[in-house]
Structure 1
Amino acid sequence: LSVVVAFAAARTGSCKKRHESLWNISLLLVAAGAVGAFISTDLFFFYAFHELALVPTFLMIGILGRGERKIIAWKATIYLAFGSIVLLAGLLWLTAASGTSSLAFEDLLKTSIPAEDQPGIALFLIIGFGTLVSLFPFHSWAAPTYASAPAPISMLHAGVLKKFGLYGLLRLHPLVPEGMSHWLNLVIVLLIGNILWVGFVTINQKRLDLMLGNSSVMHMGYIFLAFAALIEAGAQTENPVAMPAAILLMFAHGVTIAMLFGLTDRLEKKTGTLDLRNLGGLASHTPKLAFLFGLAAMASIGLPGLANFAGEVMVFIAGFKGWQAGSGLGSVQIATIIALWGLVISAVYMLRAYRRTFQGPGGSHIENAEDLSSKDRRPAIFLAFVLVIVGLFPNLLLGLLENSGSGASEPSEVQKPLEPALLPDPKPQPRQAMLAN
């Protein structure tokens, strides 16, 4: 995901000549920090690489952003610094409670965290990672930041860096399973806030960039739903769908939101505005832009055949995986039913935004609008290709997760491999053997 989005982001934006060095160095540092955080095998580099990526983000918004860029840059920095400090405290507590001097994930998974420490550690991790992910109610920094930032930074942060918090929770959950279970209902309340509260806020937006920023925040609720299903199961083997569902939807959302922010930047360059009240009728002037934006919008809604659909279906399957016929619905199942209404909300705001932008009577800013050039189309076509391939063949990505073991396994002396759901058995048993079993 980091490589895919970073490649598209580098091909999307541009800046004035005097800021060219800052632009290139910042993009490289953000991309390097994202890649480093996701491939790290110990807590120190896991945390340090993510912090490395945040510094150039602040500079890019404060210097090269638009609107009230300095105020927004400081607001985002304060929120993210708060999350990082809480997260650091949780990681230090976890390391001290583990009784080992090693920071390697492999060594930590072999330790046993005392039960009395687990709820406190889990709460610090949920708040710290949650703030970085824009989990409700720590979400108000995200949408203005993405709207003010240069397009490549919005693509990288919303598409990749935001997934650091979710990835961290999935990876560290096995170390404090009892602590996470203690806060399951809290996680459920917060994820419903992401889906419903932020969803209704998104419907009310008048600017396309703010609408997309809030949409990104809303969709984090679905990934937290898969995480809640994993907490409820208590072990990955008890709900083998939850982990692959979360990772697949993280990937799909990252590619989709990066494509939307990239195209929105091109749209602003062509029309000079992102105010939905001043747009309209662009499809006749910019058919290529309308088609690509429509494809990304349909992916965000969850149209079958695109990557988000596979991820969302797996999330809902994971949500009901722990339910047994004849028993009452648990909190995760109730949250899953509520989350289904979020699909309606996302369809409303995304289709409304598309209609106000590309359909209907022409606005005052479209008379001289030009369609996407070949250079402008390439990053979007690349991301669209990824969405279609993963949407039609999700097992390609899930197979990679199986081979890599995903990095998040159960705490035991021998780590168990990931068992992604919906994958066919590579060596099907003969019919006679199946009957014998």
Structure 2
Amino acid sequence: MSWTDLTATDLVPLPVVLPLLAAGLALVFARRPRVQRVVSVVALAGVLAVGIALLVLTDDRTLVVDVGNWAAPIGIDLVADRLSALMVTVSSFVLLCVLLYSLAQGVSEEAEEETESIPVSIYHPTYLVLAAGVCNAFLAGDLFNLYVGFEILLAASYVLLTLGGTGERIRAGSIYVVVALLSSIVFLIAIALTYAATGTVNLAQLSERLPDVEPGTRLAIQLLLLLAFGIKAAMFPVSAWLPDSYPTAPAPVTAVFAGLLTKVGVYAILRTQTLLFPTDPRIDQGLMWVALLTMLVGILGAVAQDDIKRLLSFTLVSHIGYMLFGIALATQPGTAAAIFYVVHHITVQTALFLVVGLVELRGGSTSLDRLGGLAKLAPGLAILFFIPAMNLAGIPPLSGFLGKVGLVEDGVRTGGFLAYTLVVGSVVTSLLTLYAIVKAWNKAFWQEAPQEIETDARVPRGMVVPTGALVAFGLALTVFAGPLYSYADRAAAALRDGSYVEAVFPDGHDRGVGESNETIPKAGAPAGPASAVDTGEGTP
């Protein structure tokens, strides 16, 4: 194994290891909040750097690390391909921006002011554990490790959701944890059924064994996994929990939840549908109906809201439908458009929730009936809201428009009643999104305020800078849409070309328990516990 390959594969566990180590250090320095802040920022900056490196390295290979030198299928695999590297990079950037925002806002100090039972030290380690859970889910090479990632998210997100211990937050947290536990139970049942039917939970091995499973059992496994991941992704009809859970949390917590947690569920659906169940017209048609209902029900809920946080929470549900649209088309262009839209939505939705936090600080409320005249009082804040809001609505030539055009084009290309219905539904949803956003803009920023707003309230610069960085990143997605869309297209192609399986099993066959863990390297791919397989594109 060359030094270069060793360095590349050694990067794969770092997005999980770095936040966990930093969480431990944050607990050690529980009585030194400044040190905690430095540790948290450095750790997430390190994860971002690793994510960027993986983004480059995985463009011509898939990197695999056998944890503890136990090769698959016995051991745990962490797998970094184009899709997982892209998700880790975007997620770590968002996590870092939200952390910087929260440091300026003083979330942990605010929690201690509300209740003495919560120490300042709880925020940073919990946030870092959340980051580790997100990255672990993206890099997991087997169903059980994916389950572990979800459970890490559940534990950390419940703590963050209930920061401050107020009655409203406890009630919202209770709803969230009950729904999450239900999803986890369904996921565990799916894992048990999968192992009973195939003898493995390794994703690469499952892709080779599931086609031989009895069709009824295979369908049951697929439906259980879709239900488990669909609850986490907040797809209709299991999305009612989200608008009641997210808006009660502090602004940075709501932002990171809205931007990332549902996308982990979408990622799981995307990964399993393309790798484990690549061809099943019945499920694809069912997903189309689910995508349509998710879009329409979500956006109708948004139109009816008079609070910006709840309005954005319903648009979050609605736009999950666009991602499901791309997955349900089951084509490379549709999958590429879905990947592009996931990246766009993570950035824009997070930015909007951070801006709403600034609106609440400046205007004293998020209720549209109590806000007004903010464009005159805080023109910079008005611009920060307007840009991502128009991006979310899909105004040309912004990235939201480009992602929707990709989905609509592939829907028209695919043809058929359901595809055309989804195309119409996506256009209607986009128009209603624009209506809801314009209504919020008009009431909060343009119309006169129904009551006097304190003009001496000032927004800390430390909160504006990371918000501006996310807004700018959303604009960068438009400027560099060509390279990003090309990368998404290559990622979509790699999801179906078998390179994932070849990377995990470089000897070219499905190893069973008791067989040798020695591997025969492919051309340009090293043998051993850590390997990198050339995907056939880019420079090897």
Instruction: Determine the structure 2 residue equivalent to 1:317.
Output: 409
**Contact 2:138 / 2:264 at 8 angstroms: preserved in 1?**
yes
Task: Find 1:112's aligned residue among 194, 197, 210.
Answer: 210
Please list, as runs of the form range in 1=range in 2, the aligned pairs for 1:179-194 lying within 5 A after superposition.
180-194=280-294
State the one-letter code of the partner of 2:185: I
Within the alignment, does 1:176 sit opposite 2:277 as a pair? yes
Instruction: Determine the structure 2 residue equivalent to 1:43.
Output: 143
Q: In structure 2, what is the Cα distance between the partners aligned to 1:372 and 1:145?
A: 26
Task: Find 1:72's aligned residue among 172, 180, 185.
Answer: 172
Q: Which has the higher mean CA deviation after the structures are superposed, 249-258 or 396-405? A: 396-405
Q: In structure 2, what is the Cα distance between the partners aligned to 1:406 and 1:11?
A: 36
Q: 1:16 deviation in Å?
A: 4.7
Within the alignment, does 1:247 sit opposite 2:339 as a pair? yes
Instruction: Determine the structure 2 residue equivalent to 1:363.
Output: 450
Q: In structure 1, what is the Cα distance between the partners aligned to 2:325 and 2:392?
A: 17
**Contact 2:337 / 2:488 at 8 angstroms: preserved in 1?**
no
Instruction: Determine the structure 2 residue equivalent to 1:226.
Output: 326
Instruction: Determine the structure 2 residue equivalent to 1:12.
Output: 101
Instruction: Determine the structure 2 residue equivalent to 1:61.
Output: 161
State the one-letter code of the partner of 1:243: T
Q: In structure 1, what is the Cα distance between the partners aligned to 2:494 and 2:467?
A: 30
Q: In structure 2, what is the Cα distance between the partners aligned to 1:68 and 1:377?
A: 27
Q: Which has the higher mean CA deviation after the structures are superposed, 374-383 or 108-117? A: 108-117
Say if 1:193 and 1:160 are closer, same or farther in 2 by CA, change over 3 A.
Answer: same
Instruction: Determine the structure 2 residue equivalent to 1:397.
Output: 484
Please list every run of 5 or more consecutive structure 1 residues that lacks an aligned counterpart in the other structure: 231-238, 324-328, 417-424, 428-437
Q: In structure 2, what is the Cα distance between the partners aligned to 1:158 and 1:118?
A: 32
**Contact 2:302 / 2:315 at 8 angstroms: preserved in 1?**
yes
Q: In structure 2, what is the Cα distance between the partners aligned to 1:104 and 1:288?
A: 50
State the one-letter code of the partner of 2:424: I
Q: In structure 2, what is the Cα distance between the partners aligned to 1:67 and 1:186?
A: 39
**Contact 1:121 / 1:176 at 8 angstroms: preserved in 2?**
no
Q: In structure 2, what is the Cα distance between the partners aligned to 1:7 and 1:399?
A: 26
Say if 1:71 and 1:373 are closer, same or farther in 2 by CA, change over 3 A.
Answer: closer
State the one-letter code of the partner of 1:355: N
**Contact 2:190 / 2:225 at 8 angstroms: preserved in 1?**
yes
Within the alignment, does 1:152 sit opposite 2:252 as a pair? yes
Q: 1:225 deviation in Å?
A: 0.8
Say if 1:254 and 1:221 are closer, same or farther in 2 by CA, change over 3 A.
Answer: same
Q: Deviations over 1:403-426 (max 9, x none)?
A: 66786325699769xxxxxxxx99
State the one-letter code of the partner of 1:360: Q
Instruction: Determine the structure 2 residue equivalent to 1:290.
Output: 382
Q: 1:219 deviation in Å?
A: 0.6
Q: 1:291 deviation in Å?
A: 0.4
Task: Find 1:3's aligned residue among 78, 81, 92.
Answer: 92
Q: In structure 2, what is the Cα distance between the partners aligned to 1:354 and 1:413?
A: 45
Task: Find 1:262's aligned residue among 354, 375, 381.
Answer: 354
Instruction: Determine the structure 1 residue equivalent to 2:193.
Output: 93
**Contact 1:273 / 1:365 at 8 angstroms: preserved in 2?**
no
Say if 1:16 and 1:119 are closer, same or farther in 2 by CA, change over 3 A.
Answer: closer
Q: 1:94 deviation in Å?
A: 2.7
State the one-letter code of the partner of 2:470: L
**Contact 1:147 / 1:213 at 8 angstroms: preserved in 2?**
yes
Kindly tell me the number of residue pairs found equivalent between the two proteins: 403
**Contact 2:108 / 2:121 at 8 angstroms: preserved in 1?**
no
State the one-letter code of the partner of 2:312: L
Say if 1:243 and 1:362 are closer, same or farther in 2 by CA, change over 3 A.
Answer: same
Please list, as runs of the form range in 1=range in 2, the aligned pairs for 1:299-310 lying within 5 A after superposition.
299-310=391-402
Q: 1:162 deviation in Å?
A: 0.8
Q: In structure 1, what is the Cα distance between the partners aligned to 2:170 and 2:501?
A: 50
Say if 1:402 and 1:227 are closer, same or farther in 2 by CA, change over 3 A.
Answer: closer
Task: Find 1:352's aligned residue among 439, 443, 448.
Answer: 439
Root-mean-square deviation over aligned CA pairs:
2.4
Please identify the structure whose Cα radius of gyration is greater. Answer: 2
State the one-letter code of the partner of 1:394: A
TM-score, length-scaled by structure 2: 0.70
Say if 1:353 and 1:272 are closer, same or farther in 2 by CA, change over 3 A.
Answer: same
Say if 1:153 and 1:65 are closer, same or farther in 2 by CA, change over 3 A.
Answer: farther
Q: In structure 2, what is the Cα distance between the partners aligned to 1:414 and 1:76?
A: 35
Within the alignment, does 1:408 sit opposite 2:495 as a pair? yes
**Contact 1:299 / 1:308 at 8 angstroms: preserved in 2?**
yes
Instruction: Determine the structure 1 residue equivalent to 2:235.
Output: 135
Q: In structure 2, what is the Cα distance between the partners aligned to 1:287 and 1:268?
A: 15
Instruction: Determine the structure 1 residue equivalent to 2:66.
Output: none
Q: In structure 2, what is the Cα distance between the partners aligned to 1:317 and 1:90?
A: 34
**Contact 1:188 / 1:332 at 8 angstroms: preserved in 2?**
yes
